[in-house]
Structure 1
Amino acid sequence: MKTYLLPSAKLTLILIVLLAGIYPLVIAGIGKFTPGKGDGETITYKGRVVGYANIGQKFTKDEYFWSRPSAVDYNAAGSGGSNKGPSNPDYLKQVEVRIDTFLKHNPGVNRAQIPAELVTASGSGLDPNLSPGGARIQAARIARVRDVNVNVVLKLVDQHVQAPLLGLFGPAKVNVLQLNVALDEMKNK
């Protein structure tokens, strides 16, 4: 037993130093070279922080682009999905309510045109992005409420489309918070 005890204690001590000391310091150092310097990339409007670029937020007013639904009500401390599958009756009722709400607020859009991302929650419950199509389908509502030409809103969406990483990895996306801040900035010009 003594032959295993000393090597186990040494290995435990080495791993504690590596994994609880050195590794977190290296990751924190790398984080200092990212946007937000490792503290999260904030978005400001009129000199004050309005949110984080990588954490979804709830928007329900018709004058704003709506975010993807959240199973955790956009609570960043409790990130997670609903764990309900597409055959779960409660989940299907929830999706139906979201579809009906979307159609009520977006006249002229039919059920088949609604992107799934606008009525289903993401796995994290905090997805900050929509597809360009998910943003464009809301443009008519926003243009009507803000009393601007729909082409102005569509142009704004196109200006905020982020291409896939290196043009290869992942889909094109639009950050909802950045897009909504741009809408408000447009109003103040």
Structure 2
Amino acid sequence: MGKDFTSALRPAIVMTILFASLLGLAYPLAMTGIGQMLFPLQANGSLVRDAGGRVIGSAVVGQAFTTDRYFQTRPSAAGKGYDGLASSGSNLGPASQALVDRVTSDIARQRADGVVGALPVDLVTASGSGLDPDLSPAAALAQVPRVARLRGLAEPRVRALVTAHATGSILGGPHVNVLALNRALDRMER
């Protein structure tokens, strides 16, 4: 019995080291290298930079905008808001009083900002990851009066900007990337 165990131990250790090296080191390094060569922008987080080269955000990860002069993204359930380390949904069900309170608060805030009529659902609900960078065109258009008023721009110009930034998708309906829209809004104001 002891001899069988020791004769089986060596191949087990060798195979463990071999597969750990292949699958734990070689494969991840190869995939990282291929990603860097073929898709460097995406492999590095789709970072968006200003004219000075400073990183101001990511095209694929949502972020909070701190002033009402900008289009606001949908609420985030990720940590204290758009925290990539806490990416997840809230796990609150439809009967949860905490969810009802949060949505009610978000509705009141949207009404205080001047949004009238039916509220697009993505203005008051968080996405599954809590890091969604996009809004529906309806949610962006609902914010046009506030943004136009605070920036002193004509509503039709801001509405046209939103419409120009609406893009289609294979898997879902049209969407507007909020960071790209806000950057275009800053350029429009100059």
Q: Same fold (TM over 0.5)?
A: yes
The TM-score by the shorter chain falls in which range?
0.7 to 0.9
SS in 2 for 1:120: coil
Q: Give structure 1 stretches of 5+ with no counterpart.
A: none
Amino acid at match of 2:144: A
Change (3 A) 1:184 1:4: same
Give the count of matched residue pairs. 182
Match of 1:97 in 2: 105
SS in 2 for 1:36: helix
Change (3 A) 1:170 1:25: farther
Distance (Å, rounded) in 1 between the aligned partners of 2:175 and 2:66: 20
Match of 1:134 in 2: 139
Alignment of 1:9-88 (within 5 A): 9-32=13-36, 33-34=38-39, 36=41, 38-47=43-52, 48-71=54-77, 72=79, 73-88=81-96
Amino acid at match of 1:36: L
Contact in 2 for aligned 1:129/1:174 (Cα 8 Å)? yes
Provide the aligned C-alpha RMSD in A. 1.9
Q: Give structure 2 stretches of 5+ with no counterpart.
A: none
- The alpha carbon displacement at 1:89 in A equals 0.5
Which digits, 9 at most, give the CA deviation of each residue in 1:99-123, with x for residues without a partner? 100111024x12xx21111111112
Match of 1:106 in 2: 114
Aligned identity (percent) is: 41
Match of 1:180 in 2: 182
Which digits, 9 at most, give the CA deviation of each residue in 1:45-83, with x for residues without a partner? 342321111121112422111011111211122222211
**Between Structure 1 and Structure 2, which shows a larger proportion of helix residues?**
2
TM-score computed with the length of structure 1 as normaliser: 0.86
Amino acid at match of 1:68: R
- The alpha carbon displacement at 1:161 in A equals 1.9
Amino acid at match of 1:88: S
TM-score computed with the length of structure 2 as normaliser: 0.86
Amino acid at match of 1:187: E
- The alpha carbon displacement at 1:8 in A equals 2.9
Which digits, 9 at most, give the CA deviation of each residue in 1:108-159, with x for residues without a partner? x12xx21111111112111111112221111121112112121211211122
Amino acid at match of 1:144: R
